[in-house]
C-alpha cells in the first residue's frame, strides 16, 4: 500500500504554533471582513489575485471554474481568481494548512474539530451565512466559518442501456436482487460496479458513509466514542464491508483494482462498459459531462439488505470558507459569496435544491425519490469523534482504511486491530481529560 503520513490535529497545531512564533508580527492585526454586495453592481475597488483550493480538479481542467472566475471579473474588473486542485483533498489540505499555504478560499477539512476552526478560518458575518440550511456544521462558539456548496445524497448511479443489454428489466430493490443484477451484467461482458478501489477516496461510501445512514441514526458514528469495540462482523460495519468484499470476490468490480482510474471509470459508465457506481448524486453530472446521454443515466437508492425500504442520507457537500491567513480577505469574502450564491455550480453538478424543497430539476433525482427512501438528515461529526479518530490514526475521511479492510485475508482480525487502536485512543483521551 505504501507508507502514509497521518497528520493529527495536535501535529498541525504544533506546526502552526512554531510558524506563528516566527511571523507573529504579521498577524497581530486581524482584518475585518467586509462582505461586498451580492447584487449586479460593479465594485471596482476590489482588486488583486486570490487562490481557491478545491477537490474538483476536473472542473479546473475543463474550464468550468475559469468560467465562474470570468463572470466574477465582470463584476470586479481588477480582481483575479486562480484555482489549485488537490487529488486527495481531505489529507493534503491539512498539510497545507499547517504551513499557512492553503490559498485564500478553500474547502473546510471534514476531519478538523470545530473547536479549531478559528485557528485556520475567518468567521463569516450574519449576512453571508443567513441562508445556510445546515446550521450545526462549520460552526463553533456561535460563529460560522463556512457555507455549504450543495446538498447531496448517496445511491447507485447506473447506465440504463447496460441494464437493458444484460436483460435487467427492473431496478434492484433488495440486496439479493442487486447481486443478481451484478451477475447478469458480468455475464453480458459489462463491469457490474466500478468501485474505484485504486482511487481510494470513493471507498468512503462503503465505510463511514453507508454505516452512518443504513442504521437510520445519523449519530451512529458519533456514538462510537462510547464503545471500545465498534467494529463487529454482525453490526453495520461488518454488513457494509462484507457487501463490498463480496462484490470483489465474485468479480463484480473492475479488474485493475490498484490503478487510479477515476477519470476512465466515468467514460466507461457513460459508454455502458460499466453498469453502476455507489456514489453521491454529484457523480451523475460528472458522467453526463464526459458524454453520456441524460436519458441513459439513472439513480436509485442502494439496497443494502433485503428489507422492503431503505434509508438514504441527506448531507451537505463540502463547506467553503476563507483562510485566516489570506492577505486579501475582502476579495476572498467577495468570491465566497459569489461562488456559493451567484454561480450555477450547485445546479450544474446535480445538487439538491438549497431551499430544502426536495423538488429537484434533474430527472435522475426524481427517479431516486420515486423509490421513497427514508431520508436521514446528516449531523456534524462531533469533536469527540474526530479527536478519537485522529488519536487512533484512522483516516476515516480518506478511505485508506477501507482499502485495507477490503484486502484483508481475515476481516475479523482486521476489525480486532481497529478495535485495539480505538480502545487505546479512548483510554488516552480519558486520561488526558482527567483533572
Question: Rounded to an integer, what distance in angstroms lies between the CA atom of residue 33 and that of residue 244?
Answer: 47
Question: Rounded to an integer, what distance in angstroms lies between the CA atom of residue 265 and that of residue 193?
Answer: 10
Question: SS3 of 145, please?
Answer: coil
Which residues of 55-176 form beta strands (DSSP E)?
78-85, 105-107, 139-140, 143-144, 147-148, 151-152, 154-159
Per-residue pLDDT of the chain (435 residues; tens, 9 = 90+): 333 333 443 433 333 333 333 333 333 333 333 344 444 455 567 999 999 999 999 899 999 999 999 999 999 999 999 999 998 898 899 999 999 999 999 999 987 889 999 999 999 998 888 878 788 889 999 999 999 888 889 999 999 999 999 999 999 999 999 999 999 999 999 999 999 999 999 999 999 899 999 999 999 999 999 999 999 999 999 999 999 999 999 999 999 899 999 999 999 999 999 999 999 998 998 999 999 999 999 999 999 999 999 999 988 889 999 999 999 999 999 999 999 989 988 776 667 655 455 556 688 988 999 999 999 988 888 889 989 998 999 877 778 899 999 999 999 999 999 999 999 999 987 756 555
Contact call for residues 337 and 52 (beta carbons, < 8 A): no
Question: Rounded to an integer, what distance in angstroms lies between the CA atom of residue 344 and that of residue 340?
Answer: 9
Question: Rounded to an integer, what distance in angstroms lies between the CA atom of residue 147 and that of residue 135?
Answer: 10
Strand partners for 80:
49
- Antiparallel, parallel or unpaired: β 311-316 and 374-377: parallel
Kindly tell me the burial class for residue 401, based on how many C-beta atoms sit within 10 Å of its own C-beta (0-12, 13-18, 19 or more): buried
Alpha carbon 417 to chain centroid distance? 26
Question: Rounded to an integer, what distance in angstroms lies between the CA atom of residue 268 and that of residue 288?
Answer: 12
Question: Rounded to an integer, what distance in angstroms lies between the CA atom of residue 59 and that of residue 349?
Answer: 10
CA-closest candidate to residue 111, choices 419, 399, 432: 399
Cell 459531462 locates to 289
- Antiparallel, parallel or unpaired: β 143-144 and 139-140: antiparallel
- Is the pTM value of this prediction over 0.85? no
Question: SS3 of 52, please?
Answer: strand
Q: Nearest 10 degrees: CA dihedral of 111, 112, 115, 118?
A: -150
Q: Tally the residues of the chain.
A: 435
Amino acid at each position: 500500500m505504501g507508507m502514509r503520513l497521518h497528520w493529527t490535529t495536535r501535529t498541525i497545531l504544533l506546526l502552526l504554533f512554531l510558524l506563528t512564533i516566527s511571523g507573529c508580527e504579521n498577524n497581530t492585526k486581524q482584518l475585518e471582513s467586509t462582505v461586498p454586495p451580492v447584487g449586479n453592481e460593479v465594485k471596482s475597488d476590489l482588486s488583486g489575485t486570490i487562490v481557491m483550493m478545491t477537490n474538483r480538479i476536473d472542473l479546473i481542467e475543463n474550464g468550468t471554474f475559469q468560467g465562474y472566475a470570468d463572470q466574477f471579473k465582470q463584476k470586479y474588473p481588477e480582481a483575479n481568481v486562480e484555482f489549485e486542485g488537490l487529488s486527495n483533498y481531505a489529507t493534503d489540505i491539512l498539510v497545507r494548512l499547517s504551513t499557512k499555504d492553503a490559498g485564500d478560499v478553500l474547502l473546510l477539512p471534514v476531519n478538523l474539530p470545530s473547536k479549531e476552526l478559528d485557528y485556520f478560518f475567518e468567521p463569516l458575518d450574519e449576512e453571508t451565512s443567513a441562508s445556510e440550511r445546515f446550521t450545526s456544521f462549520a460552526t463553533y462558539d456561535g460563529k460560522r466559518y463556512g457555507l455549504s456548496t450543495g446538498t447531496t445524497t448517496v445511491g447507485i448511479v447506473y447506465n440504463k442501456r447496460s441494464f437493458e443489454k444484460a436483460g435487467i428489466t427492473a431496478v434492484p430493490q433488495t440486496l439479493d436482487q442487486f447481486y443478481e443484477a451484478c451477475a447478469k451484467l458480468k455475464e453480458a461482458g459489462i463491469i457490474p460496479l466500478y468501485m474505484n478501489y485504486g482511487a481510494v477516496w470513493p471507498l468512503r461510501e462503503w465505510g463511514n458513509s453507508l454505516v452512518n445512514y443504513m442504521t437510520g441514526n445519523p449519530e451512529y458514528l458519533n456514538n462510537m466514542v462510547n464503545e471500545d469495540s465498534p467494529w463487529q462482523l454482525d453490526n453495520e460495519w461488518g454488513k457494509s464491508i462484507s457487501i463490498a468484499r463480496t462484490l470483489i470476490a465474485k468479480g463484480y468490480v473492475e479488474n485493475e483494482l490498484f490503478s487510479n482510474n477515476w477519470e476512465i471509470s466515468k467514460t466507461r459508465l457513460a459508454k455502458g462498459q460499466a453498469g453502476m457506481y455507489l456514489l453521491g448524486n454529484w457523480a451523475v453530472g460528472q458522467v453526463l459531462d464526459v458524454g453520456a446521454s441524460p436519458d441513459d443515466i439513472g439513480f436509485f437508492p442502494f439496497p443494502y439488505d433485503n428489507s422492503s425500504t431503505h434509508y438514504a442520507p441527506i448531507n451537505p457537500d463540502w463547506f467553503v470558507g476563507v483562510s485566516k491567513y489570506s492577505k486579501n480577505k475582502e476579495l476572498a469574502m467577495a468570491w465566497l459569496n459569489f461562488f456559493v450564491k451567484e454561480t450555477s455550480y450547485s445546479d450544474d453538478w446535480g445538487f439538491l435544491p438549497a431551499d430544502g424543497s426536495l423538488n429537484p430539476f434533474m430527472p435522475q433525482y426524481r427517479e431516486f425519490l420515486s423509490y421513497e427512501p427514508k431520508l436521514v438528515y446528516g449531523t456534524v461529526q462531533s469533536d469527540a469523534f474526530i479527536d478519537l479518530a485522529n488519536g487512533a490514526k484512522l483516516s476515516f475521511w480518506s478511505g485508506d482504511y477501507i482499502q485495507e479492510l477490503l484486502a484483508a485475508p481475515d476481516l475479523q482480525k482486521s476489525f480486532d486491530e481497529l478495535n485495539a487502536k480505538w480502545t487505546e485512543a479512548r483510554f488516552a483521551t480519558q486520561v488526558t481529560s482527567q483533572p
